Structure 1
Amino acid sequence: MSKVLLQNKMLPKNRPFRVSVEGNIGSGKSTCLNFFKQWDKVEIHPEPIDKWRNLNGHNLFGLVYNDLSKYNFAFQHYVQLTRLQIQTSPPASEKTEVKMFERSVQNNRYCFVENAHKSKFLADCEYEVLKAWYDWIENNVDISLDLIVYLRSTPEVVWHRMVKRGRTEENAVPLDYLKEIHSFYEQWLNSPEKVKCKIITIDADKDLENVLEQITYHSSAILGGKINDQES
């Protein structure tokens, strides 16, 4: 098995343009990622849900939604690890110029960990451990983002979408949880000291066709001007 070298922040950056597609549960992140599969120089990374569902036989994804207090610490630890692996791993191809992934290490820290602590799903000591891990990562590893695509949605809209798609682990997710996640998204993405890259906001309350129109309109900027339309 090949080893992944974390990029030290002191080294020159020699990596693809990093784009994190952000949004609440059911906001259309997968739709956005699938759109950009048409460019062969774009490397796409959906959320590693299969890993979360099977860590040596343990379905952390299912466990955390069934008992948000008992399993949140273990789940957040593993989510942070898998996001870090995606964000810092070398591109799969030498041709890759844009690396696009569903949510980021930063998102986990400032949205889901904050929400879990506020909701008492993480004890104070567990919260401090996760913060300490993140601070070390941020200070020692290049996890910087070049662009965030924010699929901004109303919690009520995405709750109905979530119910409709029927993902087993999400059946017990209440509307209030989506409202809290939305609130932390808004706090995070409106904090210049936490977000150090450009943000493109897409109105994800619209229907799928309209969302795709917005993504298409912004596609050149989303790709950082790295790829021409003729290269798709």
Structure 2
Amino acid sequence: MFSFSFILSFCFLRCSCVKHLLEMEGVITASGGVKRNASIIAPSPSKKPYFVGISPLKDLTKVKTPCDRPFRVSIEGNIAAGKSTFIKFFEEKPGIETYLEPIESWRNVNGHNLLDLLYTDKDEWLRAFENYVLLTRLMVQTSKPKSSSTTVQIFERSLQSSRYCFLEQGYTNNHIHGADYAVLDQWYKWARANHDISLDLIVYLRCPPEVAYERIKKRGRPEETKIPLQYLQELHESHEKWLMSEDSSNTTPVIVFNVDTTIEQVQEQCKLNEDKILGLDKREVKNVDEESKEKIKKTLKF
């Protein structure tokens, strides 16, 4: 069991972390450190090697982060944007647990390779694939930390991207029937209402579809040889609509990296922004007054 003092400290660290993220909302920080208003974000990837931004351009003051779980980060982006490579940078760091996509589970559902079936015929198999993806993501995203010292959980993609990016892409481009779309939407709403699937931060690896296509050909995963450039272009537009448009329903703060560059440059930007990604930037240890102690006790039902 955690001590009361430990829980108090953890709660105040989490609150200061979220406060800082909200303060960054609406600001773009270029690679040289110059800040500018986020309203000038281009609708397509910048030609600059990289930049870091905060989106969406909306009021995030109602976002509430529980103090009884680790800080949750989802790494999002197109196929071959570099998500798993990005996550590996944090694998050995103390207090952090990382969760790669459960691809092997998708490759073997009682002997059926759903991933291969999807890329063979999206019109036929997208419904079954997305059903199973929602299930496996729910299992991963609601998993309890393996250690009591874990303060950050980093996921490769999320239930949110399955719903608002991949499912939307499939429906918009007529790969899935409206009835199937409605069922999967209800599935997602049930998960959201009955489980804590909330995220505290999204890291968007923004990659031009043409670059992703070349990376897919180089890494040579068997199922991905069937992916056309058009599919990557559709997914890119879905990510842009979900994470970069002003009318998006997303309310989670987003850090944006352009990854049309070398691995070394991306890793360098990752290092420079590590505290923001892990919710550690400018944390302060504050003395806890008695009134705050009572509020926390009521919240945690001591």
TM-score (structure 2 length as normaliser): 0.69
1:83 maps to which of 115, 137, 154:
137
Q: Could you say what secondary structure the match of 2:90 adopts? A: helix
CA distance in 1, matches of 2:67, 2:148: 15
Report what 1:5 is aligned to. Answer: none
CA distance in 1, matches of 2:188, 2:67: 20
CA distance in 2, matches of 1:96, 1:47: 20
Q: Could you say what secondary structure the match of 2:266 adopts? A: helix
Cα displacement string for residues 52-94 of structure 1 (whole angstroms, at most 9, x for unaligned residues): 0011111111111111111111100000111111111111111
CA distance in 2, matches of 1:169, 1:40: 35
CA distance in 1, matches of 2:72, 2:217: 31
Report what 1:43 is aligned to. Answer: 97
C-alpha RMSD over aligned residues:
1.6
Query: What is the deviation of 1:139?
Result: 2.5
2:252 maps to which of 197, 202, 210:
197
Query: What is the deviation of 1:226?
Result: 8.1
Instruction: Give yes or no for the alignment of 1:61 onto 2:115.
Output: yes
Query: What is the deviation of 1:119?
Result: 1.9
List aligned pairs for 1:174-189, cutoff 5 A: 174-189=228-243
List aligned pairs for 1:110-125, cutoff 5 A: 110-125=164-179
Query: What is the deviation of 1:124?
Result: 1.0
Gaps of 5+ in 1: 1-11
CA distance in 2, matches of 1:142, 1:90: 11
Conserved? CA contact 1:22–1:103, under 8 Å: yes
Report what 2:160 is aligned to. Answer: 106
Larger mean CA deviation between 15-24 and 85-94 belongs to 85-94
Aligned residues: 217
Provide closer, same or farther for how the CA distance between residues 54 and 227 of structure 1 changes in structure 2, counting only shifts above 3 A: farther
Q: Could you say what secondary structure the match of 2:185 adopts? A: helix
Query: What is the deviation of 1:194?
Result: 2.4
Conserved? CA contact 2:75–2:204, under 8 Å: yes
Q: Could you say what secondary structure the match of 1:177 adopts? A: helix
Conserved? CA contact 1:145–1:196, under 8 Å: no
Cα displacement string for residues 153-211 of structure 1 (whole angstroms, at most 9, x for unaligned residues): 11101110011101111101010100110001010013565222211111110111111
CA distance in 1, matches of 2:278, 2:219: 29
Provide closer, same or farther for how the CA distance between residues 227 and 105 of structure 1 changes in structure 2, counting only shifts above 3 A: farther
Gaps of 5+ in 2: 1-65, 284-302
Conserved? CA contact 2:123–2:176, under 8 Å: yes
Provide closer, same or farther for how the CA distance between residues 42 and 227 of structure 1 changes in structure 2, counting only shifts above 3 A: farther
Query: What is the deviation of 1:104?
Result: 0.5
Q: Partner amino acid for 2:114?
A: L
Q: Partner amino acid for 2:220?
A: G
1:172 maps to which of 210, 226, 249:
226
CA distance in 2, matches of 1:149, 1:157: 19
CA distance in 2, matches of 1:196, 1:15: 19
TM-score (structure 1 length as normaliser): 0.89
Instruction: Give yes or no for the alignment of 1:206 onto 2:222.
Output: no
